């Protein structure tokens, strides 16, 4: 997230294999270069720096003959130049003559080729020396230049010191690689939590999170404790050690945790609960210990565990018990949370969308003793979220965020962010410079129904789909308790051949019996329209029947909205996430009651099906007009439907 910088210096990732191989090749090249340098430093003086190597006796003969122009004496080696080129002969019969050859007298046995040179080099015998050389050179008026003897200092340094430095560097590099390998082995047991420290950039604050005003008010107390802990300690108060954020996916639980850290300006450790668990038993517990040790050293700080139910599920339930590794990790987490010092300013925050599966030991006072519900945003919250996600979008003037917030009832924050992104992508595909309201409508259809398909349907299939969707629309428009119609389409999208989009006129937190009955009637109207006007039924009502059956069964077994009375019955195995749990618990009602439940569900569905049939029979003329309009336009809006029915769009 912007405003946070990854500042985790407690864990260092090993270099990739390619980088290690590159470093190894670099050391090999350096050693080869050093060997080449030493060979050159050894051979260059011996070759006379490009001059011909001659015997010392030949050198004396040329000096006495007056053919030497100048000499340079470097210790025991003499470099010089002749006045006139001297003829040289090969030393090996039939061999290719090298660049510099030794001198031999003309006519010597076995010499077959000759050469001429002006520069030479020779060596004064160290065993005997030659005290008469300098007087002889002076007598022959040879220019003499003396250089201190021995190899130059830089050659000595490179030849002797550089190998030692390279050897020491190579040993240090090998030791570092060995230490790093050992660190990787021990690092397997360390926590992989990402640490975010507030940087100089803009931090994430409560103002950056919209739609959760109640949750932010509950978390403001945590922020005040992290900022002013002494105020609470002096009064003997103890801040909750664990805060559990409960809500559907995409509602902003992680954003709220980061906003708490940003408001309090403290380090934030973020980890997913699934990162604790490994194949080896004990690794998860070790990582939990390491995480809490790091958090205590950085106190005041916040530890945020996402998807807590990955390790916090109830122990010893379901067929076969549980995982030893997961249960040991959970036990260590319980110990760490219970072992906090009351004066230690470390707060554990966790998020889950399945609080029903958590172990009771996690939820007791002293651990996660404060639960904050992060629900779906209301209309004003959705408008605030849309305002945040559209700040960087070039919006056209006709885009009305209030209308979008009314059209997106039931959307989470993640859904709204995806809606804005899809609208921007649609505008880019159509080469527009601004995001228009049409882009948002297309994005909303794509999210609700899926992308449009180019499937070619026969005229009979299109007419059947049109009657099906017109049945939904007419019944919904006839029942005042039903949701309002947004759009009717027979364009195939996703897995559906057509769709009737219904959106509630206002946010609902409590469903009445009349609303649920209207919903059942609308769901069954598509099948009723097929039977009345197509004189056959298709598989297109599968999803409608599934949803209607589920709603009716809940009305009978859980909400007391049938002739069975007010008794509440357990809904079935799908309500319990643990495999085999219901087999051990048994049912809380008899077989006779189960038959009564099935009969009540079927009677409820049949009664609503008859209501939908009577409405469609009464609206036969409007039905045919709506079908013809759908076949012609393929997609119609609520205003066009109102024109067909002869009333206002909101009627």
Catalytically active residues are 469
Taking the C-alpha atoms of residue 8 and residue 5, their distance in angstroms, rounded to an integer, is: 9
Per-residue burial over 525-541, b if 16 or more Cβ lie within 10 Å, else e, is bbbbbbbbbbeeeeebb
**Contact present, 170 and 25 (Cβ < 8 Å):** no
Helix (H) or strand (E) holding 637: strand 635-637
Closest CA to 155 of 42, 76, 27: 42
615/619 Cα distance (integer angstroms): 6
Minimal CA–CA distance to 242: which of 358, 376, 413, 375?
358
Q: Any bridge partners for residue 352, and if so which?
A: 246
> What is the distance in angstroms between the CA of the first residue and the CA of the last residue of the chain?
46
190 sits in which H/E element: none
DSSP string of 403-435, one letter each residue: HHHHHTTT--HHHHHHHHHHHHHHHHHTT-SSB
Residue pair 524/609 in contact by the 8 Å Cβ criterion: yes
- Count of alpha carbons within 13 angstroms of residue 258, beta-carbon side: 23
3-state secondary structure 197-214: EECCCCCCCHHHCCCCHH
> DSSP character for 395?
B
Sign of CA dihedral 326, 332, 335, 338: negative
> Collapsing DSSP states into helix, strand and coil, what is residue 452?
strand
CB count, 10 Å around CB of 12? 11
% helix / strand / coil in the chain, to the nearest 5?
Answer: 50, 15, 35
C-beta neighbour count of 127 within 10 angstroms: 4
> How far is it, in rounded angstroms, from Cα 413 to Cα 155?
72
Contact 225, 301 (CB under 8 A): no
* C-alpha dist (Å) from residue 169 to 22, 29, 155, 173, 176: 16, 14, 20, 6, 10
Neighbours of 585 (CB within 10 A): 10
Q: Where are the alpha helices (DSSP H) in 235-341?
A: 253-264, 283-297, 324-338
Q: Which of 564, 560, 555 is nearest to 594 (CA)?
A: 564
**Residue recorded with tokens 């009345």:** 532
Report how far residue 583's alpha carbon sits from residue 592's, in angstroms, rounded to the nearest whole number. 19
C-alpha distance from residue 246 to each of 351, 380, 492 (Å)? 6, 21, 37
């Amino acid at each position: 997230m912007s405003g946070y910088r990854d500042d985790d210096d407690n864990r260092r990732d090993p270099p990739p294999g390619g980088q290690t191989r590159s470093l190894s090749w670099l050391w090999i090249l350096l050693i080869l270069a050093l060997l080449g340098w030493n060979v050159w430093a050894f051979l260059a003086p011996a070759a006379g720096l490009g001059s011909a190597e001659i015997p010392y006796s030949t050198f004396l003969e040329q000096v006495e003959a007056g053919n030497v122009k100048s000499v340079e004496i470097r210790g025991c080696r003499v470099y010089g130049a002749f006045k006139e080129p001297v003829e040289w002969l090969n030393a090996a019969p039939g061999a290719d003559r090298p660049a510099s050859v030794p001198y031999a007298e003309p006519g010597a046995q076995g010499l077959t080729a000759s050469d001429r040179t002006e520069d030479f080099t020779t060596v004064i015998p160290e065993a005997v020396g030659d005290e008469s050389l300098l007087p002889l050179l002076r007598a022959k008026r040879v220019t003499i230049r003396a250089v201190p003897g021995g190899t130059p200092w830089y050659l000595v340094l490179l030849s002797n010191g550089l190998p030692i430095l390279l050897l020491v560097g190579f040993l240090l590099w090998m030791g570092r690689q060995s230490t790093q390998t050992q660190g990787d082995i021990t690092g397997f047991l360390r926590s992989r939590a990402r640490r975010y420290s507030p940087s100089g950039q803009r931090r994430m604050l409560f103002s950056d999170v919209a739609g959760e005003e109640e949750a932010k008010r509950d978390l403001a107390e945590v922020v005040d404790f992290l900022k002013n802990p002494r105020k609470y300690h002096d009064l003997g108060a103890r801040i909750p050690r664990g805060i559990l954020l409960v809500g559907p996916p995409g509602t902003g639980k992680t954003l709220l945790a980061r906003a708490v850290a940003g408001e309090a300006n403290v380090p934030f450790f973020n980890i997913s609960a699934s990162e604790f668990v490994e194949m080896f038993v004990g690794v998860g517990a070790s990582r939990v210990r390491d995480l809490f040790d790091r958090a205590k050293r950085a106190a005041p700080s916040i530890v945020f565990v996402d998807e807590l139910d990955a390790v916090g599920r109830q122990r010893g339930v379901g067929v076969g018990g549980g995982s030893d590794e997961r249960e040991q990790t959970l036990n260590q987490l319980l110990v760490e949370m219970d072992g906090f010092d009351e004066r230690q300013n470390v707060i554990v925050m966790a998020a889950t969308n399945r609080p029903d599966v958590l172990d009771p030991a996690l939820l007791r006072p002293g651990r996660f003793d404060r639960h904050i519900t992060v629900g779906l945003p209301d209309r004003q919250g959705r408008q605030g979220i849309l305002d945040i996600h559209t700040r960087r979008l070039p919006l056209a003037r006709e885009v009305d965020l209030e209308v979008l917030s009314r059209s997106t009832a039931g959307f989470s924050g993640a859904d709204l962010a995806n809606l804005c992104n899809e609208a921007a992508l649609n505008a880019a595909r159509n080469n527009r410079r601004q995001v228009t309201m049409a882009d948002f409508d297309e994005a909303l259809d794509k999210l609700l129904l899926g992308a449009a398909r180019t499937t070619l349907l026969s005229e009979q299939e299109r007419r059947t789909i049109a009657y099906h969707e017109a049945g939904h629309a007419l019944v919904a428009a006839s029942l005042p308790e039903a949701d309002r119609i947004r759009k009717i389409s027979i364009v195939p999208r996703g897995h559906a051949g057509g769709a009737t989009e219904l959106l509630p006129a206002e946010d609902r937190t409590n469903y009445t019996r009349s609303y649920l009955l209207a919903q059942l009637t609308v769901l069954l109207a598509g099948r009723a329209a097929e039977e009345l006007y197509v004189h056959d039924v298709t598989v297109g009502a599968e999803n409608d029947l599934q949803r209607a059956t589920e709603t009716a069964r809940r009305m009978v077994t859980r909400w007391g909205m049938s002739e069975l009375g007010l008794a509440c019955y357990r809904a079935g195995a799908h309500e319990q996430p643990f495999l085999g749990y219901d087999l051990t618990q048994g049912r809380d009602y008899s077989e006779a009651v189960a038959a009564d439940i099935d009969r009540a569900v079927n009677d409820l569905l049949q009664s609503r099906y008859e209501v939908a049939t009577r409405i469609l029979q009464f609206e036969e003329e409007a039905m045919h007009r709506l079908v013809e309009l759908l076949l012609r336009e393929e997609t119609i809006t609520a205003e066009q439907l109102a024109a067909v029915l002869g009333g206002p769009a909101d009627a």
